[in-house]
């Protein structure tokens, strides 16, 4: 089950890389977060870790529900460009994505003897970190860059839940707090842009 969810996580992220429409991208991001939250719930219920269950539920609520919705509202309000063709051509991206994956999978290989639990999670989260970086790089527009930043946060959360079997609650809450603050700052940045033009 965990393998399935982790596969789904990576799959949604890769699909997001090839998306050319903003709302689709937000949809994939929401799905990505949803699988992440389900993953945290699954692992948390297996470990009987109440903190992880809570953070999984928060993830589903915030990252899969509230944040994509807010971003959608913001993009309506500030009339952001909704066509977001990646600036890296698909032909090259097709070669780049597997290259990144192979690289990160081999990078994480020595870890497999060290982490208790499953080393694949570390590999997948490192590769999703790089893929979200790619998502930020390949777009010129602001909105997909924000989504890239958010999915980077997701990759970190994945690493936190799987590699360490849950971060301390304090840190998790701090990360959520900072995420919300990031949204506020993004809102302010967009707001000023409108006021100027």
- CB within 8 Å of 91: residues ≥ 6 apart: none
Of the candidate spans 26-34, 39-47, 61-69, 177-185, the one that interacts with other proteins by CB under 8 A turns out to be 177-185
State the residue for tokens 């946060």: 153
CA distance 36 to 155: 9
Kindly state whether residue 187 participates in binding other proteins, applying the rule CB under 8 A: no
Kindly state whether residue 4 participates in binding other proteins, applying the rule CB under 8 A: yes
Write down the least CB distance from residue 189 to other proteins, Å.
6
CA distance 123 to 165: 15
Q: Could you say which residues in the range 73-132 bind other proteins, by CB under 8 A?
A: 90-91, 93-94, 97-98, 101-102, 105-106, 109-111, 113-116, 118-120, 122-124, 126, 129
CA distance 132 to 155: 8
Say if CB 164 and CB 172 are below 8 A apart: no
Kindly state whether residue 16 participates in binding other proteins, applying the rule CB under 8 A: no
According to CB under 8 A, which one of 13, 14, 34, 71 is a site residue for other proteins? 14
């Amino acid at each position: 089950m965990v393998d399935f969810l982790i596969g789904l996580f990576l799959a949604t992220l890769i699909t997001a890389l090839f998306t050319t429409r903003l709302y689709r991208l937000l949809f994939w991001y929401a799905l990505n977060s949803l699988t992440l939250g389900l993953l945290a719930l699954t692992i948390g219920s297996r470990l009987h870790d109440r903190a992880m269950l809570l953070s999984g539920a928060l993830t589903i609520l915030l990252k899969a529900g509230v944040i994509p919705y807010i971003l959608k509202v913001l993009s309506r309000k500030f009339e952001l460009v909704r066509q977001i063709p990646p600036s890296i051509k698909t032909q090259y991206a097709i070669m780049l994505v597997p290259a990144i994956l192979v690289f990160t999978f081999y990078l994480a290989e020595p870890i497999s003897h060290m982490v208790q639990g499953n080393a694949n999670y570390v590999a997948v989260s490192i590769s999703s970190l790089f893929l979200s970086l790619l998502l930020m790089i390949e777009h010129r527009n602001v909105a997909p860059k924000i989504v890239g930043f958010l999915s980077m946060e997701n990759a970190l959360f994945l690493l936190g839940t799987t590699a360490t079997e849950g971060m301390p609650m304090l840190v998790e809450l701090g990360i959520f707090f900072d995420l919300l603050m990031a949204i506020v700052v993004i809102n302010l940045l967009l707001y000023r842009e409108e006021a100027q033009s």
